[in-house]
């Protein structure tokens, strides 16, 4: 080394800066391009059921024709599917709606037509490291309200069971 020069016109400081840039590029490449694989324990598959206490029979018949279906959120498909739907008779005395403009105001309507209770079975692949059990924008937990949404239909119920596959 003459006068602190390494490899001709490249000095030690330049070499260190170049190494830092290369290391940062490798780190970002692994993190954002090659870092999607979380290893063998990176994901866990679950099955969960969503119960809809009352839905019109016509809605059930339409949804049944569209199953199985891939779930979606925010315009993107999710690593989840709606696997099956079952209908059971239910008696519905009234339907209660809350006024979205005034939380203290409630409307009670007498239902017309036939209603059924729906049990929807879904499967999802969740990140092993996510303690919130996030699927898209929703948390998967027993007792939580859940929107079952595909490209073809959307219905809201409550998660009533959840188990690992």
Determine if residue 7 is left, alpha or beta; phi over 0 gives left, psi from -120 to 50 gives alpha, anything else beta: left
Write down the pLDDT at residue 116. 94
Specify whether the backbone of 76 is left (phi greater than 0), alpha (psi in -120 to 50) or beta: beta
Per-residue pLDDT reduced to its tens digit, 82-135: 999 999 998 878 777 787 788 788 877 777 789 999 999 999 999 888 888 999
- pLDDT tens digits, residue range 21-62? 999 888 877 777 755 544 455 889 999 999 999 999 999 999
pLDDT value at position 91? 83
Confidence of residue 156 (pLDDT cuts 50, 70, 90): very high
The pLDDT tens digits for 131-150 are: 889 999 999 999 999 999 99
Q: In angstroms, rounded to a whole number, what is the distance separating the alpha carbons of residues 83 and 115?
A: 22
**Cα–Cα distance measured from residue 117 to residue 88, given in angstroms and rounded to the nearest whole number:** 5
Kindly provide the b/e burial profile for residues 104-124, where b requires at least 16 CB atoms within 10 angstroms of the residue's own CB: eeeeeeeeeeebbbbbbbbbb
Asked if the model's pLDDT at residue 159 lies above 70, the reply is yes
Give the 3-state secondary structure of residue 54: strand
């Amino acid at each position: 080394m003459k006068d602190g020069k390494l490899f001709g016109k490249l000095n030690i400081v330049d070499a260190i800066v170049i190494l830092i840039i290369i290391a940062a590029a490798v780190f970002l490449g692994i993190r954002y391009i090659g870092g999607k694989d979380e290893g063998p324990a990176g994901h866990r598959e679950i099955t969960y059921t969503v119960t809809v206490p009352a839905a019109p029979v016509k809605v059930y018949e339409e949804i049944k024709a569209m199953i199985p279906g891939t779930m979606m959120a925010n315009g993107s498909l999710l690593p989840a599917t709606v696997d099956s739907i079952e209908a059971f008779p239910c008696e519905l005395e009234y339907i209660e709606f809350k006024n979205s403009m005034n939380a203290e105001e409630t409307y009670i309507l007498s239902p017309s037509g036939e209603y059924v209770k729906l049990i929807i079975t879904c499967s999802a692949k969740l990140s092993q490291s996510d303690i919130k059990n996030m699927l898209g924008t929703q948390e998967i937990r027993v007792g939580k309200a859940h929107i079952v949404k595909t490209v073809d239909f959307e219905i809201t119920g409550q998660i009533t069971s959840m188990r690992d596959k």
